[in-house]
């Protein structure tokens, strides 16, 4: 078990050393200014209990509570004084979810440990359960037997919890509690101006911790003017599900703030990154906070999945002294660039090369240990603050002397948020093209966004695809090779693409009415879904044709309906725009949508949309209706759950439908090249 005696002076001296030290070195027993633990707490949020009593989150919570009972059993301060949960203890705030959480918590809570709770936005999603109870807040307070806003004093330290009156994913309403919060903070500060005051709520404060800044939208502004008045405040919040072992999860400005992560699933920064990376449900991080007799605070990060601690720790040496704050923007900006160990001779290994994919493996880069972010300590000789990698792809025809052409970028996470982070990083490149030379350039990116100066590089070739020669692409009546929907003579919907390696599997949702060779869609939940893989999309990168024959009776006053679509931040679609009484063809080229349209009347039509690498074109009933110049690769969704084409709707996150179509569909086709005008006229006959 660890040694709880720590010298703050010795710790501060070690804040600027040039090599990482194991925990046993920097936390060793010292007789000089030795401080004892006077308060110990566990801090978490976003537990997300389900109706299912056997949900993974229940096991993670109970495993943490069990560990807390023995963590410091042989130390002078042997117990936890408090457990703080900053909201979203359930998925919806349903009665069953809340009672499951309540029973699990209080049946396993260690003796002498107080549970301090506040509401999150998910506690407001209970609908009928809340109506019966007289509102979400009353429902929560009744089941958990405590007020939604609370002020507790434990061992002389003030804990203030504040709940919203209403909560959504984007915002929480704290307006009715702001005066109360400021009054409670004033009273706490008067009690002892030197001691830290702990404030917890569900939402981050905007522009503070990781998850509240820039493109991330998990923060609110309401509490900031109040907290800015109290430098001794240490604020805890969740909501984002971003990992706590990312140093951006602790912030200092006019007060201190920490992100409390999750016991359910990680969510990450979007944009160029994957919001839900592989293994994202393997998440269970908890702060173990120890306050010492000189008011300094140490945070360890417990991983409930493995029962161990992450190798990064945070120390607040003087919580209320703004001049001594370490977790600041200037310190982040001064972080060094990452690098690969020169002695390891790091290289990229490339295997499993197919016409459309390749598998890369390379060693994880390391933090540059010559300087470090002050206030962060590592309890392992192998610290790693590598957040992600930038992988740049270039291509040219096999054996050609042409210049390399930019062919895309991937930004995979390093998996630093897993306790058992692999030493080797493996990436599958799944949207390559056959018959090309490829150049790969990989740079490491630390959690503060700085790229390594040195890049790992490699070159490989993809073989030609025999399917590309499967038919004469100039034939006047070509066969749809990627998707071919129709109603067969037995009245059964079919998908029968010419190339067998494209999926034939088709799922039906709702109850489309099949008669006279048409599928009639109700505009509510009727749709067909055909899954696509990255390999499938790779064959549509340079050219494509999408065709459909459909019929509709009338326009609505407003809104949009999709006849055939695959547009979840990528792809293409045929969409009826009711307010403009037009048909739109959406085509995602070089990272943005090109949208062309033409007036259309109710009735039966055959429409084709093409992209030939130079322009996007829309044909209605065999005739060119709209055209717009465009160049670059066709681009598709990075969301695995949305990799599918829908007939009768668009695709949405989770594979769901949206913009449902009211009308009939006779056929829908997708080709891996741009059809010529003669072929399009023949399809319209």
Taking only the tens place, the pLDDT of each residue in 540-562 is 988 999 999 999 999 998 999 99
The neighbouring-strand residues paired with 235 are 199, 257
Contact in structure between 234 and 253 (CB atoms under 8 Å)? no
DSSP 110: P
Identify the weakest region by mean pLDDT among 5-14, 271-280, 291-300, 485-494.
5-14
pLDDT score at 387: 93
In 498-602, beta strands by DSSP E: 507-509, 513-515, 518-522, 527-531, 544-552, 560-565, 572-577, 582-589, 592-599
Mean pLDDT of 647-668: 96
User: Cα separation of 375 and 377, whole Å?
Assistant: 6
User: Cα separation of 608 and 140, whole Å?
Assistant: 54
Contact in structure between 571 and 643 (CB atoms under 8 Å)? no
User: Cα separation of 105 and 88, whole Å?
Assistant: 14
Compare 17 and 266 and report the one with higher pLDDT.
Answer: 266
The pLDDT tens digits of the residues spanning 269-311 come to 877 788 888 899 999 999 999 999 999 999 999 999 999 999 8
DSSP 171: -
Do the bridges between strand 114-118 and strand 82-86 make them parallel or antiparallel, or are there none, so unpaired?
parallel
User: Cα separation of 433 and 540, whole Å?
Assistant: 9
The neighbouring-strand residues paired with 289 are 41, 299
Count of residues making up the chain: 685
Q: What is the CATH number of domain 471-684?
A: 2.60.120.200
- With 90 as the cut, is the pLDDT of residue 377 above it? no
* Residue-wise DSSP of 468-491: GGSS-TT-SSPPPSSEEEEE-TTS
User: Cα separation of 20 and 420, whole Å?
Assistant: 19
DSSP 343: G
pLDDT score at 47: 96
User: Cα separation of 158 and 657, whole Å?
Assistant: 49
pLDDT score at 382: 52
Mean pLDDT, all residues of the chain = 89
The two tokens of residue 81 are 């004084």
pLDDT score at 20: 30
pLDDT score at 208: 94
The pLDDT tens digits of the residues spanning 415-437 come to 999 998 888 999 999 888 899 99
**Percent with pLDDT over 90 in the chain:** 73
Do the bridges between strand 527-531 and strand 34-35 make them parallel or antiparallel, or are there none, so unpaired?
unpaired
The two tokens of residue 211 are 């998850």
The pLDDT tens digits of the residues spanning 151-198 come to 999 999 999 999 998 877 777 889 999 999 999 999 999 999 889 999
The two tokens of residue 344 are 């390891």
Domain spanning 342-367+383-464: which superfamily? Answer: Immunoglobulins (2.60.40.10)
**Residue 23: strand, helix, or coil:** helix
Mean pLDDT of 31-43: 77
374: confidence class by pLDDT, cuts 50, 70, 90: low
The pLDDT tens digits of the residues spanning 78-120 come to 999 999 999 999 999 999 999 999 999 999 999 999 999 999 9
Environment class of 167 (CB within 10 Å of its CB; exposed 0-12, middle 13-18, buried 19+):
buried
- With 60 as the cut, is the pLDDT of residue 15 above it? no
Identify the weakest region by mean pLDDT among 61-75, 355-369, 601-615.
355-369
The pLDDT tens digits of the residues spanning 614-643 come to 999 999 999 999 999 999 889 999 888 999
Contact in structure between 76 and 4 (CB atoms under 8 Å)? yes
Helices 95-108, 136-144: axis angle to 10 degrees equals 30
Indicate the domain borders of the chain. Answer: 38-291+319-333, 342-367+383-464, 471-684
How would CATH label the architecture of 38-291+319-333?
4-Layer Sandwich (3.60)
Residues 6+ apart with CB under 8 A from 333: 448
Residues 6+ apart with CB under 8 A from 42: 64, 68, 80, 82, 83, 84, 286, 287, 288, 289, 302
- With 80 as the cut, is the pLDDT of residue 29 above it? no
pLDDT score at 380: 58
pLDDT score at 383: 56
Q: Positive or negative, the Cα torsion across 316, 318, 321, 323?
A: negative
What angle (nearest 5°) sits at the alpha carbon of residue 141, between those of residues 113 and 235? 55
Mean pLDDT of 249-268: 95
Q: Between the CA of residue 661 and those of 130, 276, 364, 646, what are the distances in Å?
A: 34, 30, 48, 11
The two tokens of residue 387 are 């957040």
If you count DSSP H runs as helices and E runs as strands, how many of each does the chain have, helices first?
11, 45
User: Cα separation of 440 and 461, whole Å?
Assistant: 11
The residue whose two tokens read 């695809």 is 465
User: Cα separation of 544 and 572, whole Å?
Assistant: 10
User: Cα separation of 300 and 285, whole Å?
Assistant: 10
The two tokens of residue 302 are 């417990």
pLDDT score at 27: 33
pLDDT score at 19: 29
pLDDT score at 3: 37
Compare 524 and 169 and report the one with higher pLDDT.
Answer: 524
Q: Between the CA of residue 390 and those of 121, 362, 451, 570, 668, what are the distances in Å?
A: 34, 13, 8, 21, 38
- With 70 as the cut, is the pLDDT of residue 411 above it? yes
12: confidence class by pLDDT, cuts 50, 70, 90: very low
What angle (nearest 5°) sits at the alpha carbon of residue 219, between those of residues 194 and 242? 90
pLDDT score at 220: 87
pLDDT score at 465: 84
Helix intervals (H) in 194-269 = 224-227
């Amino acid at each position: 078990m660890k040694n709880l005696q720590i010298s703050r002076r010795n710790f501060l001296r070690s804040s600027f050393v040039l090599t990482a030290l194991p925990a046993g070195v920097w936390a060793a027993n010292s007789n000089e200014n030795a401080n004892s633990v006077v308060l110990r707490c566990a801090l978490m949020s976003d537990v997300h209990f389900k109706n299912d009593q056997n949900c993974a989150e229940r096991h993670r919570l109970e495993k943490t509570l069990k560990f807390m009972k023995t963590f410091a059993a042989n130390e002078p301060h042997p117990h936890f004084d408090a457990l703080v949960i900053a909201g979203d203890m359930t998925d919806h705030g349903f009665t069953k979810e809340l009672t499951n959480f309540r029973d699990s918590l209080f049946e396993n809570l260690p003796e002498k440990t107080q549970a301090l709770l506040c509401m999150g936005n998910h506690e407001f999603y209970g609908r009928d359960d809340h109506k019966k109870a007289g509102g979400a807040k009353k429902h929560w307070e009744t089941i958990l037997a405590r007020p939604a806003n609370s002020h507790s004093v434990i061992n002389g330290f003030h804990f203030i919890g504040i709940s919203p009156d209403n909560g959504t994913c984007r915002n929480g309403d704290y307006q009715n509690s702001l005066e109360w919060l400021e009054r409670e903070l004033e009273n706490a500060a008067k009690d002892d101006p030197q001691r830290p005051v702990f404030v917890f709520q569900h939402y981050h404060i905007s522009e503070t911790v990781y998850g509240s800044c820039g493109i991330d939208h998990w923060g609110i502004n309401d509490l900031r003017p109040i907290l800015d008045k109290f430098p001794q405040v240490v604020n805890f919040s969740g909501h984002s599900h971003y990992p706590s072992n990312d140093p951006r999860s602790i912030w200092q400005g006019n007060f201190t703030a920490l992100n409390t992560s999750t016991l359910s699933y990680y969510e990450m920064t979007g944009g160029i990154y994957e919001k839900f990376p592989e293994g994202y449900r393997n998440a269970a991080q908890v702060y173990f906070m120890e306050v010492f007799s000189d008011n300094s605070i140490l945070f360890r990060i417990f991983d409930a999945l493995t029962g161990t601690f992450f190798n990064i720790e945070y120390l607040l040496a003087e919580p209320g002294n703004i001049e001594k704050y370490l977790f600041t923007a200037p310190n982040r900006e001064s972080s060094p660039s990452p690098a690969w160990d020169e002695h390891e001779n790091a290289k990229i290994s490339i295997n499993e090369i197919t016409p459309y994919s390749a598998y890369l493996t390379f060693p994880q880069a390391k933090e540059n240990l010559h300087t470090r972010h002050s206030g962060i300590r590592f309890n392992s000789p192998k610290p790693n603050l590598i957040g992600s990698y930038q992988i740049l792809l270039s291509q040219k025809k096999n054996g050609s002397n042409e210049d390399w052409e930019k062919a895309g970028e991937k930004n995979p996470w390093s998996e630093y948020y897993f306790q058992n982070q692999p030493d080797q990083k493996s990436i599958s490149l799944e949207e390559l093209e056959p018959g090309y030379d490829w150049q790969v350039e990989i740079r490491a990116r630390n959690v503060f966004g700085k790229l390594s100066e040195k890049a790992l590089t490699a070159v490989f070739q993809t073989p030609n695809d025999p399917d590309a020669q499967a038919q004469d692409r100039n034939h006047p009546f070509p066969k749809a090779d990627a998707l071919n929907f129709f109603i067969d003579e037995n009245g059964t919907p079919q998908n029968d693409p010419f190339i067998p390696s494209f999926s034939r599997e088709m799922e039906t949702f709702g109850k489309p009415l099949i008669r006279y060779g048409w599928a009639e869609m109700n505009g509510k939940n009727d749709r067909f879904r055909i899954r696509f893989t990255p390999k499938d999309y790779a064959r549509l990168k340079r050219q494509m044709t999408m065709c459909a024959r459909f019929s509709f009776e009338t326009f609505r006053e407003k809104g949009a309906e999709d006849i055939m679509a695959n547009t979840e931040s990528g792809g293409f679609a045929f969409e009826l725009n009711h307010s403009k009484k037009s048909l739109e063809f959406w085509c995602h080229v070089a990272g943005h949508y090109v949208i062309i349209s033409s007036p259309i009347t109710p009735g039966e039509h055959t429409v084709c949309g093409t992209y030939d690498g130079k322009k996007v074109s829309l044909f209605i009933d065999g005739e060119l209706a709209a055209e717009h110049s465009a160049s670059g690769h066709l681009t598709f969704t990075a969301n695995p759950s949305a990799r599918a084409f829908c007939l009768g709707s668009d695709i949405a996150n989770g594979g769901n439908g949206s913009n449902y179509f009211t009308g009939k569909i006779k056929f829908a086709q997708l080709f891996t090249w741009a059809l010529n005008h003669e072929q399009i006229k023949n399809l319209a006959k």
